[in-house]
Amino acid sequence: MADWSKLPKDLLEEIARRLESAFYLLRFRSVCSSWRSSVTSRPRRLPGRFPFLTNHGICATSLGFHLSQRSIFLMGLPNSRNQRDPDRWLVKIEEDVPGRMHLLNPLSRFQLKPLPEAFPKVLDLSKFSVFELGGEFVLHYVHFRPFGNGNSLGDDGNLYMEKVVFMCSGSESNDFVLLTIHVSGKLAMFKSEDKRWTIIHDMPSPYDDVIMFKGQFYAVDGTGRSVTVGLNSNLSLVANPVFGGDKKFLVESSGELLVVDMYLSIAAPGDLDVDDEVLQMQFSGCLTERTVRFEVFKLDREGKKLVEMKSLGDRVLFLGDDCTFSASASQLSGCKGNCILFTDNFFYMGSEEECVFKARDIGVFDLDDGGIAPLSDYPEYSKLFWPPPDWVASTTSEVQTQLEELAI
């Protein structure tokens, strides 16, 4: 049997450079002492603690900006391949200060709370089978007192967030570049070395989404017109418009860049799926948008066009507030493929989960038949989100017991 601890240092360094996730780098360094010593404890492409960013060039009303990073994990039991259809848990984790994590709804900006009474206070990810499905960077507009009570930004800060994509601007430095969408619909870029924002005024139509794909910034506007965004703020057309729907999303799936077109319709108050009389009074007289269908396109860079896809095959797409990601249905413990999961105001939850998902529930669109339904109609998907599987608490309790025994 090969001795993996004796791999050449230059090969280990090359492997480590290809690990985009700080989580996977941590796992890499934990294999053995030779692997740990081959790379630094923190990847250069990600700053350890993000500074407050200046508002210069983008906003005159805020004190500045705070950038935070979150990761979406698919968790399972260790060695779960040997078990029959083990449950998985999909969760978003934010570490605002070292050692303190917050758990969030994977598709929204809100924390999962209250957690079950049996949920562990310490969640050791090294004790589980963990896959990182996606990540996001969130920009908080700071023009209030975020730390007045000694806590983190919390849900109040979410009122001032915009989606951001991140790029390291040099392999041997901690300089980075951010791309986001300004309130005007134009693209805005921040370079850490310049310490200022630049508004990119080229905007035939307001932009809907941005993404980092294969080392480049991409953006799509409301017509489907797709561009790459260079570090000097130049735009290059990669796909002409397709028009059609009301909101476009960029998603990476199996190495391809997809544009997902969401179609919306205005729902009258009586159409809302709300049973509670008090909530009916709150929604009375209000109109809300509901999602009615999706179309999916694949980017054809050579032809500078978007090619419609009739099927995703085994893939499942997730459309969140600040991040999009995809997974194979085979990873999701018996879930059906060829589906899109998304947040929507129409599918209001009036059950125990209401306080967890903050009145924005999750919908499922099935490309096989064009059907659209709340998450609760798909039990195999629903158990991915809430409640946490029992093994989360039991596995952590076993770890805690082992630690206590060692301390005796």
Q: Which of 179-183, 260-264, 299-303, 355-359 has the lowest mean pLDDT?
A: 355-359
3 lies in some domain: no
Shared domain for 394 and 342, answered yes or no, is yes
Task: Identify which of 140-144, 223-227, 275-279 has the greatest average pLDDT.
Answer: 223-227
Q: Which residues, 6 or more positions from 343, have their beta carbon under 8 angstroms from its beta carbon? A: 107, 108, 319, 320, 321, 360, 361, 362, 363
**What type of residue is 36?**
R
**Is pLDDT of 281 > 60?**
no
Shared domain for 30 and 117, answered yes or no, is no
Domain limit, last residue, from 43, 64, 81: 43
Q: Residue 75 in contact with residue 129, Cβ under 8 Å? A: yes
Shared domain for 86 and 37, answered yes or no, is no
Phi (first) and psi of residue 193, to 5 degrees = -70, -30
313 lies in some domain: yes
Q: Residue 341's pLDDT band (boundaries 50, 70, 90)? A: very high
pLDDT of residue 43: 45
Structural domain including 213 reads 52-144+157-401
Q: What is the pLDDT of residues 15-72, one digit of tens each?
A: 776 666 666 666 666 666 676 666 765 544 444 444 555 555 555 555 667 777 888 9
Shared domain for 87 and 109, answered yes or no, is yes
Shared domain for 38 and 56, answered yes or no, is no
Q: What percent of the chain has pLDDT over 70?
A: 63
Shared domain for 97 and 31, answered yes or no, is no
Shared domain for 20 and 165, answered yes or no, is no
138 lies in some domain: yes
Shared domain for 39 and 162, answered yes or no, is no
Shared domain for 263 and 375, answered yes or no, is yes
Q: Whole-angstrom Cα distance, residue 189 to residue 53?
A: 12
Q: What is the pLDDT of residues 98-130, one digit of tens each?
A: 567 788 888 887 777 777 776 767 676 777 777
149 lies in some domain: no
Q: Whole-angstrom Cα distance, residue 314 to residue 331?
A: 10
Q: Residue 182 in contact with residue 199, Cβ under 8 Å? A: yes
Q: In the predicted model, what is the mean pLDDT of the chain?
A: 75
Q: What is the pLDDT of residues 284-317, one digit of tens each?
A: 555 577 889 999 999 999 999 999 999 999 999 9
Shared domain for 19 and 86, answered yes or no, is no
**Is pLDDT of 319 > 90?**
yes
pLDDT of residue 223: 95
190 lies in some domain: yes
> Pick the residue with more confidence: 321 or 303?
303
Shared domain for 79 and 18, answered yes or no, is no
pTM: 0.78
pLDDT of residue 57: 52
Residue in the block written with tokens 């179309």: 295
Q: What is the pLDDT of residues 225-234, one digit of tens each?
A: 999 999 999 9
21 lies in some domain: yes
**Is pLDDT of 249 > 90?**
yes
Q: Which residues, 6 or more positions from 31, have their beta carbon under 8 angstroms from its beta carbon? A: 4, 5
If one counts the domains in the chain, the total is: 2
**What type of residue is 165?**
V
Shared domain for 326 and 180, answered yes or no, is yes
272 lies in some domain: yes
407 lies in some domain: no
